[in-house]
Amino acid sequence: MSESVDTKRTEFDRAIERFNRLIQDTSDELSIILRGHLLLEEKLTAIVTSAVRNPEYVSKARLSFLSTLFLARSFVGHFNDSACWDAIEKLNSIRNKFAHQIEPAGSDELFAPFFEICERESRWTYVHTLPRGRTKLIGYIGVVWGTLDALLDVVQVCVEHAPSPLTSRSIGQIGTPEHPG
């Protein structure tokens, strides 16, 4: 195994430990949503900053969560057309309800659309078997987070192997039949 694969595995193991520490230790759904939202935002921002020539301007742009989501998806969405993107949008909607309503609808009603989106994703079957609630919520946020982490790796490989500084157009072409990479 190459050193870079070992390094990547160690980085991912540390990231999983951090994810678990931040999410698993929370007992209430509000904390899970808020922390999960922040962890997903970190990954989305990392995808965007890794894909652009001058990443320092990404933070200066003060992009909203949805702007960051759509920008990240514009760079790497063609690599993964899973329920990940819709699940992130729905989680953002739930987070906004928590943030802007003193008493949002009951959790079953509030989380049902998020669970329905995630349950349609055939690749996440091990989470499907969990009963709806805190554990399933954490599970789905975890698989979405892991999907974003994998997509971040794709962007980093594209940047590393691009013949010139990467633009959004070249990311959009790498991995397509016309430009297999």
What is the DSSP annotation of the chain? --HHHHHHHHHHHHHHHHHHHHHHT--SHHHHHHHHHHHHHHHHHHHHHHHSS-THHHHHHT--HHHHHHHHHHHHGGG--STHHHHHHHHHHHHHHHHH-SSPSPHHHHHHHHHHHHHT-GGGHHHHTSPTTHHHHHHHHHHHHHHHHHHHHHHHHHHHH-SSS--HHHHHHTTBTTB--
In the block, residue with structure tokens 């009603």: 109
**pLDDT range class, residue 175, cuts 50, 70, 90:** low
- Percent share of the chain, pLDDT over 90: 42
pLDDT of residue 173: 54
**Residue in the structure block whose two tokens are 């922040």:** 38
Of residues 58, 84, 82, 54, the one with CA closest to residue 71: 58
* Amino acid in position 77: G
pLDDT tens for each residue of 148-170: 999 998 888 888 776 554 454 55
The pLDDT score that the predictor gives to residue 176 is: 57
Considering the chain, what is the average pLDDT of its residues?
84
Contacts of 32 (CB under 8 A, 6+ apart): 23, 26, 134, 137, 138, 141
Under a CB-based contact definition with an 8 Å cutoff, are residues 41 and 92 in contact? no
Q: What digits encode the pLDDT tens for the residues 19-59?
A: 988 887 667 888 899 999 999 999 999 999 998 888 899 98
Task: With cut-offs at 50, 70 and 90, classify the pLDDT of residue 1.
Answer: very low
pLDDT at residue 120 greater than cutoff 50: yes
Contacts of 70 (CB under 8 A, 6+ apart): none
